[in-house]
Structure 1
């Protein structure tokens, strides 16, 4: 899954929880230069989604 799609999905999902963040703040947080609490939560969501996708790749029917 592309990085842009992951960030978009994480931002959209976070909006359900009233966590909004602009693209600039999100980008700053990704490079550890951010100061927005909401951006930190959204980046955490991106990392969680990346981990879930990685785990899904290794799953088998067993």
Structure 2
């Protein structure tokens, strides 16, 4: 069994890491204090296709 990430998985891992480092990490304390996931980060994730990863195309 090959447990290594595929090229596509590595692509998404790197993309998410970069987005988090640039847009979330600098303000993580404020985000944590608000106890709410910021709308602008949700929009950023949507713009970058991250919500597509959760739902397979055959499910909508």
TM-score band, normalised by shorter chain: 0.3 to 0.5
Q: Output the TM-score relative to the length of structure 2.
A: 0.33
Q: Output the TM-score relative to the length of structure 1.
A: 0.32
